[in-house]
Amino acid sequence: MSEKKRVTGIGGIFFKSQDPAAARSWYSRHLGFDESQYGTVFDWQYADDSGKMGQTVWNAFKADTTYFAPSEKEFMLNLRVEDLEWLLGELKKEGIEQIGEMQVYEYGKFAHIMDPDGNKIELWESADDAAL
């Protein structure tokens, strides 16, 4: 039996902005992004299963957001994972601390860790992936 995949793709790219609405408008006007307050969703197909779809989200957050805490960085990556609970167990064995509790929503499970440079990483197991 092969080991489970840890990260399967980039789930989102999030950054702080002094004016998130203006940033979304700029990206919309010049690069064709959606202007929704929730950002832009890029749909894609898995390379090893063209019938399986995934999404990557891009969005600007207010400059004073605390969502990226405890990181003081201006951005946060969201990484798609195959099995979040399993991965959190593996990371714990490797000395990686989880920040806060795992959150479960209708669209998936989320947990956070920090990398050695102080970047907050959001781990996401999509509910769509779990259903397949």
Q: Is residue 52 a contact partner of residue 67, using CB atoms and an 8 Å limit?
A: no
DSSP readout, 65-98? -STTTT--SSEEEEEEES-HHHHHHHHHHTTPPP
Q: Does 92 reside within a domain? A: yes
pLDDT in tens, 61-72: 999 999 999 999
Q: In this model, does residue 1 exceed pLDDT 50?
A: no
Q: Which residues pair with 12 in a beta bridge?
A: 57, 78
Number of domains in the chain: 1
pLDDT in tens, 9-66: 999 999 999 999 999 999 999 999 988 888 999 999 888 888 888 889 999 999 999 9
Q: Does 2 reside within a domain? A: no
Phi, psi of 69 (to 5 degrees): -65, 145
d(CA 100, CA 111): 8
d(CA 61, CA 67): 9
DSSP readout, the chain? -PPPPSEEEEEEEEEEESSHHHHHHHHHHHH-----TT-EEEEEEETTEEEEEEEEEEEEEETT-STTTT--SSEEEEEEES-HHHHHHHHHHTTPPPEEEEEEETTEEEEEEE-TTS-EEEEEEEHHHHH-
Q: Does 113 reside within a domain? A: yes
User: What is the structure's pLDDT at 50?
Assistant: 84
d(CA 57, CA 47): 19
User: What is the structure's pLDDT at 123?
Assistant: 98
18 lies in which domain range? 7-131
Q: Does 110 reside within a domain? A: yes
Q: What is the CATH number of the domain that holds 123?
A: 3.10.180.10
The overall pTM is greater than 0.85 = yes
pLDDT in tens, 88-125: 999 999 999 999 999 999 999 999 999 999 999 999 99
pLDDT in tens, 20-29: 999 999 999 9
